A = this chain, B = another copy of it.
Amino acid sequence: MFEILSLKNGIENVSGFFCDGVNCGLRPNSEQGDLAFIRSEKISNIAAVYTTNRFAAAPIQHALRYGKVFEGNFILMNAKNANAMTGKKGIEDIEEILDALPKELELVNPVMSSTGVIGYRLPKEKIFAGIEKLDFNAKNSDAAATSIMTTDQFKKELCFQVTLEGGSSFTIAAIAKGAGMINPAMATMLCFITTDAAVPKEEMQELLQGATDSSFNKISVDGDTSTNDTVYLMANGASGVYDKEAFKVALDRITFELAMMILKDGEGSNKVVAFEVVGAKDDNEAKIAAVNLSNSLLVKTALFGEDPNWGRIASTIGASGIECSEETLKIYYDNLLIYSSQKPQLDKKTEERAYKIMKQESFKIRCELGMGEGSYTAYGCDLSYEYVKINAEYRT
């Protein structure tokens, strides 16, 4: 038995963690930060899930020298420049930057995490100057969360306090960024999770991978997989408290809620849609169909048009290559049956209900395949003019 309480703000609630963010000129003519850090007083267990992109950015190549689970106490983050496709020079830049951090911080295995444009070297002088401005004893989660934003419309920050039977408690907090380039085939965007729970090192990776698989790996904004996506979990054990079951529930919940925030903030997105596929031959086939639905341009534009064009749902399932049959296929929008017995189930009245369902900020499209027991839910969003505008203009 345990209780999970949502706290205001983010990382400042977690014992032994410090964070801050400042503007060092990467984001020109702006008050908004572009350089941030998270620091733990104690050496923490750190687990990471990185992008599956073969051109993993320099910060990931650099961090991989420590393995996927390591001990450390510092992450430096920057926006506006991904430090990707920059080769060995990109890694050397990181080493130089991390070397410039104050010696009194006694950094152990410090890492860096970057997001922004691909293919340009980091402007080191700006970052050196930014380091001078950072307060390494601050507890300014808001500044850190806003500093890592790119095309994000709102900051993503959450904190839970978990109280176990008997009254002992630990805290878990996370900040994240993401908006475009979100795809379920990988670790997805940037997310930094801190906790004062005493998570054993050997359980870190399994817990983080599980949480990532059931959250960030289930969402898709545009089907593109970035070079920089990273999820870090830092556990410093400062609370002295740990319960695996409670921690797993809290971690899964914080990552899932952040994933939904990212999807809601998908570039130009107006609604979040759950694509629930059940009755597939197996879970893998259900996943293929659900992910294809969440990525289909024709499905995404129909969502934007708020048109219950279920034919595109059917066509996308058929095109996905999985086992399916017209005879057993049923399609629901929320709980409204739209297609079954090889014909649309819409009359005037239900068609009106379908339109109403599609006007919601979030709803579910459920496809029953009747082929077996496999199921999977993927989460997607609509594709609007705004997405095209944001991405046509991004670099310039």
Contacts and interface: CB of A to CB of B under 8 A. Distances in A.
Nearest to A54: B318
B319 A224 contact: yes
A222 interface: yes
A310 interface: yes
Contacts of A314: 55, 84-85, 118-119, 227
A46 to B, nearest CB: 24
Given A54-B324, A119-B339, A387-B301, A311 B183 contact: no
B222 A396 contact: no
A89 interface: yes
A386 to B, nearest CB: 9
Contacts of A85: 311, 314, 326, 339, 342
A226 interface: yes
A100 interface: no
A1 interface: no
A121 B311 CA distance: 13
A226 B315 contact: yes
A237 to B, nearest CB: 36
A342 B88 contact: yes
A317 B226 CA distance: 11
Contacts of A384: 388
A10 interface: no
Contacts of A223: 296-297
Of the listed residues A305, A339, A383, the one surrounded by the most CB atoms of chain B closer than 10 A to its CB is A305
A215 interface: no
Nearest to A310: B119
A182 to B, nearest CB: 11
B326 A87 contact: yes
A388 B391 contact: no
B55 A297 contact: no
A38 B339 CA distance: 34
B322 A119 contact: no
A395 interface: yes
Nearest to A87: B342
Contacts of A318: 53-56, 225, 227
A200 interface: no
Interface string A317-345: 11101111111000000000001011110
A391 B185 CA distance: 26
Interface string A137-175: 000000000000000000000000000000000000000
B54 A322 contact: yes
Contacts of A311: 82, 84-85, 117-119, 395
A125 interface: no
Contact of A319 (B183, B319, B323): B183
Contacts of A392: 301-302, 304-305, 307
Of the listed residues A120, A121, A224, A394, the one surrounded by the most CB atoms of chain B closer than 10 A to its CB is A224
Given A87-B341, A297-B297, 14 more contacts: A85-B314, A85-B342, A86-B342, A118-B312, A119-B343, A186-B319, A223-B296, A224-B298, A224-B319, A227-B314, A297-B391, A301-B387, A301-B391, A304-B392
14 contacts: A54-B323, A87-B327, A89-B342, A119-B310, A222-B298, A223-B297, A224-B316, A298-B391, A301-B391, A301-B394, A305-B395, A309-B394, A309-B395, A311-B395
Smallest CB-CB A-B distances: 6 pairs: A118-B311, A87-B342, A305-B392, A55-B318, A301-B391, A225-B319
